[in-house]
Amino acid sequence: MSPVAPAELRTACLHLRRWLPSDRAPFAAMNADPRVMEFMPALLSPAESNALAARIEAHFEQRGFGLWAVGIAGGAPFAGFIGLSVPRFTAPFTPCVEVGWRLAAEHWGRGYATEGARAALRFGFESLGLAEIVSFTVPHNLPSRRVMEKLGLTRNPADDFDHPLLPAGHPLRRHVLYRIRRPAAG
Ligand SMILES: CC(C)(COP(=O)(O)OP(=O)(O)OC[C@H]1O[C@@H](n2cnc3c(N)ncnc32)[C@H](O)[C@@H]1OP(=O)(O)O)[C@@H](O)C(=O)NCCC(=O)NCCS
């Protein structure tokens, strides 16, 4: 897959853009918030959060797309990330491109995840030419599953899987998989 511009997307309320050094501190604060990290294996230290931001930037450099930093028009310069990424693990549905999101808690409940992810899906299908995009989470992450459903992704229980990066018996190991195919050309 060749790197494809643009590096930025705009929606009615959001600016999905490349990361800035000034995003690191608010990103670390998010990643240390138990509300934001309820369905993740652990809170992140500032060093771990910075390492994640660096991996996200490396993904952009390598592939030309990634998990964009989210700015809110007329509001917070950094509210979290929304975008597309290639999972680093192997599973029955990989290789694939995933749509994902993580927003600071003060920005939840305004439709931002859905609005940004809808633009990311369009970019994936129209600019990257992807045939399918997936998303996954733990079964009890109902807000995230609701975002997937609002975007038109669907789940087949036969696709449920154990996350290969988590050990057997880990309470977050079981995952549900959602998929969406590229819309037929109108
Ligand atoms: C998941 C997340 C990005 C959603 O962001 P958001 O901007 O609030 O999402 P939206 O407003 O677009 O949609 C959220 C939907 O979930 C619904 N929802 C919220 N809490 C819910 C709950 N406990 N049970 C069921 N639905 C719930 C909302 O009502 C809304 O649906 P609606 O429009 O039909 O009312 C945000 O909660 C988050 O960052 N969570 C922590 C990180 C995370 O879990 N990321 C995903 C990992 S796979």
Closest Cα to atom 10 of ligand 1: 111
pTM: 0.96
- From first to last of its 186 residues, the chain has per-residue pLDDT tens of 445 566 799 999 999 999 999 999 999 999 999 999 999 999 999 999 999 999 999 999 999 999 999 999 999 999 999 999 999 999 999 999 999 999 999 999 999 999 999 999 999 999 999 999 999 999 999 999 999 999 999 999 999 999 999 999 999 999 999 999 999 876
Pocket of ligand 1 (CB under 6 A): 36, 39, 101-103, 108-114, 137, 141-144, 146-147
Cβ contact 63:86 at 8 Å: yes
Ligand 1 centroid from CA 42, angstroms: 19
Which residues lie closer than 8 Å to 25 by C-beta, 6 or more apart?
Answer: none
| CA-to-CA dists, residue 75 to 14, 27, 103, 105, angstroms | 9, 16, 14, 15
- Listed residue (102, 22, 105, 42) closest to 68, CA to CA: 102
Q: Which of 81, 103, 135 to mutate to test the pocket of ligand 1 (most atoms within 8 A of CB)?
A: 103
Q: What pLDDT does 6 receive?
A: 66
- The pLDDT, as a whole number, for residue 141 is 98
Q: Which atom of ligand 1 is nearest to the CA of 102?
A: 39
Closest ligand 1 atom to residue 82 Cα is 3
